[in-house]
Amino acid sequence: MIARRFTIDKDGFCGAYFPCPVTSEKGVILMLGDSSDDLMARKGAKWLNDRGCQVMTMSADKKDYGHHNYPLERFEKAISYLKTQGCKKIGIIGASTTGMLSLVAASYYPEISLTIALSPSDFVMEGFYRDGKDGMEERPGDNESSVSYQGKPLPYLPYAYRHPEYWLKIKEESKATGNFISSRGMFDESERRHPIAEEEKIKVERIKGKIIFIGAEDDVLWDTCRYIRRMISRLETTPHECEYEALLYEHGTHFVFPQSMLKMMLPFGSSLLISFMFKAAKQYPKECLKTRQDIDLKLSEVIRNW
């Protein structure tokens, strides 16, 4: 049940607060779906409520998955509210683009003591819009970062292509690979054209508490396992105060969600939908299911011990 909704105009961020039915000092910022109160967000919050966490869902805006100069200060406001609700431990969970965002936020706010990043990148992405301009579902921003801090965009890896070639290339790659959506080639080309600079990399060594990185080798959105290995290497060679664990799987697709969470989001035909979206899920359904089940058990244990 949503106890309160937050808007950018009134509260400085877009979010929804889902209190835990039992008293808990654990508060989690959750970023799933296109909106802070859509089905994915609500069911993700319920999954965390069932594991003893208060939940603040957050999104870029109401029904908008585009990210362009997303102010990190919004997390500060969300953290402050969770503290007023008795939360002494603050966690953050994101998937895909928000997996990246969860790592960036945790690197700026030491109050965050548990960071779970599903299918993240190890660099700040360029900003993007989903406004349907010129009939394209998605387009890159006009020299905008996906994230900003104190009114300044964070340095980012620029996309290899501009509008409208950006979306046309994604469609071309998707068709060629047999996936509903595929952009791994575009990200590889972006990095080939513009080797990632140090200032564009996420400073994971600044993160406190525990980090869980999760990814699958067959991810066709981007090479998340390579990105995760680079972050692990960075932590192994840089002073840090966090504990970290990488859950890397051969099969699992971009949707490396806990299985019981996914079933709450899609009670009928969750595996079928993923098989429709990703060729690997159709070829290796049992392996992908086993991955999600393993993630379910391990994340539940992590949250219980946090």
Sequence spans of domains, the chain: 4-130+146-154+201-305
pLDDT in tens, 261-286: 999 988 766 677 788 899 999 999 99
Spatial neighbors of 46 by CB under 8 A, at least 6 apart, are: 18, 264
- φ/ψ of residue 107, rounded to 5: -75, -15
Each residue's pLDDT tens digit, 73-91: 999 999 999 999 999 999 9
- The closest alpha carbon to 16, from 75, 78, 67, belongs to 78
CATH 3.40.50.1820 is the classification of domain 4-130+146-154+201-305: yes
Residues 6 or more apart in contact with residue 174 via CB below 8 angstroms: 180, 181, 182, 183
Q: Which amino acid is at 255?
A: F
Q: Is the pLDDT of residue 44 over 70?
A: yes
Asked if the model's pLDDT at residue 1 lies above 80, the reply is no
User: If you average pLDDT over every residue of the chain, what do you get?
Assistant: 95
Question: What pTM was computed for the model?
Answer: 0.97
Beta bridge partners of 61: 64
> Tokens standing for 49?
């409520």
H/E segment holding residue 146: none
CB-based burial of residue 237 (10 Å sphere; 0-12 exposed, 13-18 middle, 19+ buried)?
exposed
Q: Which residues 6+ apart lie within 8 Å of 200 measured at CB?
A: 123, 124, 155, 156, 157
